Each structure stands twice: as C-alpha cells, then as structure tokens.
Structure 1
C-alpha cells in the first residue's frame, strides 16, 4: 500500500485570512456603545469623522479646506459644524434696517481688503458680488472723512472712508511720513503673507513661524515704539495711525502691538460682499458638504481610551431636543475662543490656552432724517460734518488703555453709511453706525444729530423711536482681544493628537482673513496626519503580504 503524503498546512490561506482580519482591524474601529446607548459608525483611514465647533471664519474655513485637501488625497471626511447661535458667520453678520430684507447692514466685520487671499478667492468662487467699500456713501456731504480729537478736527479729506486715505492731502500736511508708513506697511504685510506658502505653511507652531519670519520683533513692541524706531512720529502717528487702531481695534498706539498697527494701515482695495460678508462663510460650509447644527451648544469634549472624542451637546431652540446628545468623532476643531465657549475638556489636554482680555465693543445702528450736527463737533453752524468721523486723543490727553482709552471724544467712530427710505413716511433718511466702548445714550444721539432729547430719546428710554431716531439696533460684541505686545501665541494643536484650536491667532492678528488662514492651516495639518496614517497602514499591510508570500 502506497504511503500517503500528509497534506501541508494551508499557511498561505491562513496568512491571507490573518491579513484580511488585520486590515479590517486597522481600518475599522469595533463598535463601542456610548453612554446614551448610541453605537458609533465604523470608520476606515479614508473615512474620518470631524466635529468643528464654531461657524465663523475659522470654523467655516477649516471645513472648506478640510474637504478640499481631503478630496485631493481620496480621504473622505464626514464634517459636522456646531454653532451655538442661529446663524453662520460668527462676528460677520447683518441685520435688516426697518426689518426690510432688502436693506441689510453689517453688524460686525464690515470690510476686507485685496491682500486677504482666502476671502477674495472664496467670494469669487461662490460668485458673490463685491462692492467698493465706499460705494454707498452719501454724496451730499462735502467732506467725506475727518479725524476728531474731542475738540477739533485734526484732519479732513473730501474722498474716501476709514479704509483709504488721500495721499496728496496727507503729504501736504505731514510731509514724507505717510510715504514711509506706506512702505513699512507693504514690507510688513509682505512678510506676513509668507505664512501662506512653503516652507512656512502649514505650521504647527504659530510662535515658531512668527519668530522664523521675524514678526515677533514687531509684535514684541507697541505700535508707538515700532513707529518711532522707523522714524514715524506725531502728529501723523497720533492723528492718522492711531485713528485707525482705534476704529479697528479700540486701542491706542502705546498699548497695541506693532504688527496689528501695520495691519490697520493695509486698506488698499477695501471691499465688502453685497448682502453681507457672512455669505463667504456660509458658502464655505456648503461647499464642504458639512452637516450644520445651529442653536447647539457643546458642553463637553471627552477623549476616549481609543483616541477618539465624544462630544456632548444640547440644543437651545424650542424645536431641538433639550436632552444632551453624544456623538463620537476622530478629530475635533475648536474654532471659537475656549475661554468663552464654556466647554469642559476631559481629560485636561496637554496645552490649554491662557485667558486673555477681549474688547467689549458697543455697536449702535440707527436711522434718522438728521445729518450730524456741527455743534456737536465744535464747528460753525453752516459747516458740514464729515460723513465718517474717526477719533483720536487730543495733544493734552494722556493715553490710557481699555475703556478709558476712548478719551474725551467718547466714541471710536461714527459712520454715515448710506441713504435709506423709511417705509412709514417714504422719506429719505441716513443710516448711521457708531462704535463705542460704552452704551450710546439717547442724550448722546440728540447731541450728535442736533435735536432735543425730550420725547422718548432720553437716558431712561434711549431705544424708543420717533421722528428723530426712526429705527435703532444695538449689539455688544466681545470683538477681538486687547492686542498687547507679546512674542508667544497659542498653537493649533492642544493634545498632540486630534484636538485642534484656531482662535490662538487672534492675539497675533485678529481679522476675518487670519481666522480663515488658521482654519486652512489646521485643515492642512489634519489631512497631512491622515495621509501619514494611511501610508503607515499600507506599509504594515505590505509587510504582512510579504510574509504571506514567504
């Protein structure tokens, strides 16, 4: 009887089966029940769940660029945006004058400029109409712009708004200092724009990239000292540049850092989106294909033992469930100042941004048939008040910080935005916007517009409307940080894994564009990390395949 040869073990089959199981384990997480009984979806390295907290410039940009970068690599993110308010756009939002949807007016960020690469590019991509920032200014006022020190106008010009200056008139009064300022601004902004490009972009450390570019030499000094070091001195610095730092950031030159001072002077090509700048960020989130949860507050971010994050959130609107909802994500992007978010981080991450003071800015929008009163600005009765009034400190005033820094002027700016038609009277009226560190009272409005404060517009009832103030809307923003000199800034990664932060850039430069830059930067870093993960998984799979063949 022939001897039977025993069958060889099916090593190859077993190894291939092991390979399949290994790949499945590496590419998918086993379902884990959450506290509320939900079971998270299984994911692969090419399917990632991302939560973005905040629907403003930083959050919208993170979503938009995350989708764009991921699509270039074949990775498929599922993006959810949590926004505690009822709208997208953050501090870029509009309200409707007389509740008329055809008369929107910016309540927050009003303009952006031609060097704002992300905003300009997105607005063009989404087919939005961009208008010159001065397009709607009333033409029936001889002087368009004035800088007032609480007693006198130290500078006026017939054209422009606070976004651009008449160079010829500046040269006539201040000599060559405006030219030196413009050249210094162009050089400084040119250096900053390198942050969009390799080898500086993307950056894991904002402090390091600022240092590498030499920008910490500018942020370490006050605007006053930085200007003096570059032979830019009063009266130009205090008349013109300080008026710009006050209207843009509510700060005087001895307290704001030098980089933000230069940003205030970068006003070339100022523009706005017709209908509201918020449309840029709404378009970004739509282009990202994100799920949006409005009126939803995130209460806790809890990191699991598996390296994922469980978000506990609760709806605020009556139509939303009042119960706490929990959802699991691979990556979380916190795109709002952590100190204002009231979110518990469990466990405490390796790095927690320090609390910094924010400006409390009062915005007052109103309509009136009255022009600004010459008497309020110590002008002759037959003089015309400029349609845009910026303020600075008088030569006898000591610069102070925070709310006291406003000085005797009492406000940072009053802008006559455009003509509007009152639907009740069909009369032509003026639309005004006022920035101030404290509430503008009815008595203040009566003084500015030259009418009697009796009849409802007094301090006790300063929201009443009548024939003098026909519509009024007030809002208080925590608008931007006090931009004191500093050389270190919050980095975008909080826990060395998947908890990201965009708002650290606000103490470096606070603007819609820089928030967008940090959102884009975080998106690039996240996708780069995913690509590394995919490559590592592929390498491990190849090793197993080689062993199987052996």
Structure 2
C-alpha cells in the first residue's frame, strides 16, 4: 500500500508549503538512517503540485481528515492513560520513601548512642572525651541531642575531613610531578631520535625555496622579451554521419533503431535516411486489408516468437504492450489461436486435435505409442536448437563464423529429413507432425529445407503480439514507433536505382521518388552518404539496383516461393464433401503428402511439392456480422490461384460465399536448402548487407538479429574512426559564393 506522506511527516491534511518544509527538516534531523528514504519520498510526494492536485481532485484529503482526527484522539487518550499510570507509580514511590524515613527516625531515637570511635574519639583521636556527659537514662532523647556532646562530635568530624583533604591534595601533587617528569623525559628522547632527520629536511626545504625564487626571476626576465603570437590549427568540428538504409522492412527498421541508440550512447552524431519502395513501413511482413466491419486484418506477419528479445526490448522501451498466446498457430489461424487442428493429405485425415499443441513440450514424455520413441528424439533435437539460439545474438562479421561459434554446422549443411533419419525418427512422425508445420510456415517439405529452419518452424512455442496504444493489435505499430524514435527521414514510394563509390570513402545514392504511381511525376536525386545499408534481399533488388564499380562479390540470389492468399466469408461452415465426408472439419487445416507419395514429394518445394492436397493451409479466422448476418471469415493459402469454383467446392454447392480479398505474393518465403556458404555482410567499404540472414532462416526475429548486427558493426567502425574526421573523409560541402568551402558544424 502506498504510504501516507502526511502521516509520515506528522502534518495536518491542509498543511502549507512552509509547514511541510519545517516538519521535513525536523524529521530528517531526528530520524534514523533507515527512515530517511521513507521521509524523503513523503516530502517529494507533498511537494509535487500535480500529485497534490490529484489528491484534491479525488477527494482524498477530505476523506483523510476524519480518520486522522480519530487517530490523534486515540493517541491522546493512550498518552493520558500512560501519564496517569506514571503519576500513580511516582506517588506510591514517594509514599514508600516517606514510610522508610519514618522507620529510620524511630529506630534512631530508640537505639543507644553510637560509640566514640564513630565520631572521631578513640585510638585515632587524642582529644579527651567531652565532660559532664549526662546519663542516657536520666535525660530525654530530645535533651541528649542538644547536649554539648553533639557539638564536640561535630568538631571532630570537621577536623577529620580537613586531614583527609590534605592527604588527597598531597597525593595529587606528587602524581602531577611524576607525570611532568615522564613527559619531559619522552620529549628529550624524541628530540634525540628526530634531530638527524630534521636538519637534512630543513636544508632540502631551503634549497627548494632558492630554486623557486630563481625560476620566478627567470620568468620575470623572460616576460620582458617580445615573443610573436602563435596561431594553432583549429580543431575540426564534430562530424555528423549520414547513412542511408534501403528497405523499411524488419531488418532495415531494426538497423535504424539499434544504430541510433548505439550512436546516442557513444556520443556520435548521426542522421538516418530510409528508402522504401512501397507505401508503408514493414516491407513484405506487413499487408493489411480493411473489412466491412471496420476491422483491420493483417495478412502478413502479425506475431513474433518470445525468443525475439530484441523486438520485445524495443516494444517495452517504446511503451508498447505485448500479449502472449497459447500456441504458435496464431500466425495461421488469427488472434484466437484456440480452434481445433487437423492435418489433411488430400485423401484422409492424418491427424486431428482439439487445439494445436506444442508437440515438443506436451508429448515429450510419451515413451511409446503410435510413433514409438520418435517424439522423444525430436523433442531433444528441437530443445538443443532452442539452447543454441541465444548465441546468434552475439556480433558476427560473417554467417560462417556465427554458425561455427554456435555449433550449427550439421543443422545448416544437411536437410531436416537426413538429420531425422540419422536420429531414428520414423517416417510417419515426419509426415504427420513435422512436415505440416514446415509447409504451413515456409511452403516447403522436409527434404528441401535445412534442419535448422525446419526445427525452428516446427517449434511452435507461444509467440507475442505487440499492442499499440490505440489497441489495433498490429505488429506494424512496432515498426512505425521504432522509425519515429530515431527521427529518421522516411522516403516512401522511392526506389534506389544506383550506387556510386565516392573518392572520399562514401557512396552517392541515386533514387527515384513516386516511381510506382501514375499521378505523381518522377523525381530522381543523387545524395552522398557516409555509409549505405542494403536491407532488402538481393534477389528482389538486383533487377533495378546497380553499382559503380560493380560489386567484387555479389550476394547470393536466393529463390523465393510464391503464394496466393484468398480471404472470403460465408454464412456456412466448410462442407464435408471435399474432405471425404468428415463431418467435423477442424478450424485450422494443414496439409502433408499422402503416405504412398511422401518419399517422392518430400524432396520438392513450391507447387511441385504440394502433392494430393489442394492447398497449403486453410483456417477459420473468426466469426463476424455483415449485413445483419453472421458469417465466418476464412483464410486460404495455396500454391496456385484459387478460382470461385474451388471456393464453391469448399463451402458446398449452392452455399453463398463472398470474396473479400485476393493477394498474390511472388516472393513470400525464401527457399532454405542446406548450404555451407553464405553472402557477405560487408559487401564493400561502407556498404553493408542484412539479407544474408535469409539464407540461414527467415522471419522477423531473424531479420531483427541481422539488422542489430549490422548496426553494431557500423557503430563500432565509427567509434574507431572518431567523431572529428578530416576533410578527406567527410562528405564534400558545396562551395559558397566567395569560393571557399563552408564548414558546417555537425556535418
């Protein structure tokens, strides 16, 4: 519970600022060290005007006054009771002391007089005893006290006291004399031992003083000599780097975000310019359509796995919330992710479940059964890959170095089918469990994909979805916020066509704006940059991008798989006839080859690797209401374009359906065959490439890793070069009218 600052500082609810300051000083001076933090926090809360206005607005002070007055009355009552008990104890103590005094007085009056020795008479006192001592039996006690005996006894006491004081004074004097004697002896001994060192030290100090006086004299003499003024060269100003990033996809956005953060931490001025040929941020990972209900449907990548710590960290830093789903099928079946799941091979159902499971977490304990020990073997392989993924976040200069340091050579150089066969995994388990997820993610089969990419696709652990402040639930909000954070110049609908190597080490970039529109005119410009990052796949860029001089080693041209995505609605659920009469059609359908064709199909990709199944995946996204009628929203992903007849066959003859959107993605997923050689990350001096990661694995997580790695390499090079570059390494500044170059601070 939050502390009450008024209670901590013992203040009334309507205390003024002067009262708060006075009580704070008193509390700090009298508090324990453990209470100082609490008192200071209470003082900060009270001095915060916004917080006080919030309390007054919510009526917290009016509610606090009665409670505090009751507490003060209760404390006053307890204090009065404690004071009354203390007064009773003091009165009882005084009464007991009075009774004891009376007892002693009575005892003194009834007892015999003390002997002479106690009053100074006896062996220690040579004075004669007093004369005319009256008998105790004749005179009363009061008369005895007034007799001359009391006066003589008093004089004896005084004489004994004076003798005692004399002896004490004599003892103190003798002790003082002995202490003084010891002090003088110690000082004499100290002087004897220090004298040999004091004399040389005095000589040294005298010599230093003479040297100082001589130097001062020389300086005074030189001060009268005229020395011409010296003009030192001016220190070059801080240089602001200018970098261009070609592509606003996940890799380009992450490069800009991480580079800006690193340069800000290291004090390197930088300005980032992003070129994107599409009309939105996010590249191929973002493709949205609007529904008639006003909702936005994301056809691209709408999630990222929970192992993508770079994206999760960026979302947290930018104030975006993340929501975790129960399974990794969310990319395929929408935000719910809780529907039933089935694997269809074109002739029969190979597998059906109530909901998609993470097989490697749920069934890894199954020792035997339908697939024997295959689940346990594959679970061990997938978990080994999970444990190696953190190594991929370390900076690397080449992918070969990264793969070797993480120990992934076997998983990248061999196909998934080969690794699984060597591990003893049955063919049935590969066909029914692993291959459907690989086809659903990458539109490939186990025989054509590397083991690393296949295990990442099959490990459908819970991903995370970023939620924008407005609640639109799109990952594209993360890309937009990351670009906005960097303050970069964003050029949409602009295609980079040529890069020219400059003599000062940078690159001159030629771009054409509004190249894919028919209304806006073309605008081609050439701008120099200190460095350029190519954040798009080379296979999708080489057709319109050229360099001068040509690249010494061009990146590998990766082949891509085309996809056709069809979004349609229907008031009817899927018909059982296309699925051989099965009445219970799952919400998410993945496909796999038939058992008799699996061996020949598993080594193919694309449309040739589809087999008897008519599509890659079919999912019921969610129900919605259109035109007052409840309809189901479907998403169909196929290798070929889907006709109206194909959709009519799926929903049933005579049943209505409505096409919402048809989308053709010519380069949806890169083919990920086994390989041992990868493209370079540093293509030329100050020319970097992030697309090499598409040759190892694909996805927003891997794109973010590649972008952050390039940002680390660029920032490290700039840190080594320093922030004050010479004129020969700066972007040339155009001359001004008087013929001299203008030196601009920050350029």
| TM-score (structure 2 length as normaliser) | 0.61
1:494 paired to 2:675? no
1:339 paired to 2:339? no
Q: 1:119 to 1:373 in 2, by over 3 A?
A: farther
Is contact 2:255–2:710 with CA below 8 Å preserved after alignment? yes
Q: State how far apart, in whole Å, the 2-side matches of 1:203 and 1:89 are.
A: 25
Q: 1:376 aligns with which of 568, 572, 578?
A: 578
Q: State how far apart, in whole Å, the 2-side matches of 1:324 and 1:135 are.
A: 41
1:173 paired to 2:370? yes
User: Paired residue for 1:34?
Assistant: none
User: Paired residue for 1:426?
Assistant: 628
**What pairs with 1:390-469 in structure 2 (closer than 5 Å)?**
390-397=590-597, 398-399=600-601, 400-422=604-626, 425-452=627-654, 467-469=656-658
User: Paired residue for 1:514?
Assistant: 702
User: Paired residue for 1:329?
Assistant: 529
Q: State how far apart, in whole Å, the 2-side matches of 1:384 and 1:148 are.
A: 13
Q: 1:447 to 1:110 in 2, by over 3 A?
A: farther
Q: 1:402 to 1:362 in 2, by over 3 A?
A: same
Q: 1:97 to 1:8 in 2, by over 3 A?
A: closer
Q: 2:274 aligns with which of 81, 102, 113?
A: 81
- SS of 2:498's equivalent in the other structure is strand
**What pairs with 1:174-323 in structure 2 (closer than 5 Å)?**
174-196=371-393, 201-274=394-467, 275-316=473-514, 317=517, 321-323=521-523
Q: Which runs of 4+ in 1 moved over 6 A?
A: 163-166, 535-538
Is contact 2:371–2:426 with CA below 8 Å preserved after alignment? no
Q: 1:96 aligns with which of 281, 289, 298?
A: 289
Instruction: Specify which structure has the bigger relative contact order, considering alpha-carbon pairs within 8 angstroms and separated by 6 or more residues.
Output: 1
Is contact 2:253–2:482 with CA below 8 Å preserved after alignment? yes
Q: State how far apart, in whole Å, the 1-side matches of 2:605 and 2:518 are.
A: 42
Q: 1:214 to 1:166 in 2, by over 3 A?
A: closer
Q: 1:417 to 1:77 in 2, by over 3 A?
A: same
- Could you report, residue by residue, the CA deviation over 1:332-388 in whole angstroms, capped at 9, with x for unpaired residues? 1110012212211111123210212111122222222221111111134xx110000
Stretches of structure 2 lacking an aligned partner (at least 5 in a row): 1-223, 468-472, 727-747
Q: State how far apart, in whole Å, the 2-side matches of 1:379 and 1:304 are.
A: 68
Is contact 1:92–1:277 with CA below 8 Å preserved after alignment? no
Q: CA deviation at 1:164?
A: 6.6
Q: State how far apart, in whole Å, the 2-side matches of 1:164 and 1:80 are.
A: 44
Q: State how far apart, in whole Å, the 2-side matches of 1:66 and 1:308 are.
A: 18
User: Paired residue for 1:31?
Assistant: none
User: Paired residue for 1:456?
Assistant: none
- Structure showing the higher helix proportion among its residues: 2
Q: State how far apart, in whole Å, the 2-side matches of 1:442 and 1:338 are.
A: 36
- Could you report, residue by residue, the CA deviation over 1:268-316 in whole angstroms, capped at 9, with x for unpaired residues? 1123335322222122111111111111111111111111111111112
Q: 1:137 to 1:375 in 2, by over 3 A?
A: farther
Q: State how far apart, in whole Å, the 1-side matches of 2:337 and 2:630 are.
A: 11
Q: State how far apart, in whole Å, the 2-side matches of 1:450 and 1:272 are.
A: 35
| TM-score (structure 1 length as normaliser) | 0.82
Q: CA deviation at 1:130?
A: 2.6
Aligned positions, number: 481
Greater Rg, structure 1 or structure 2?
2
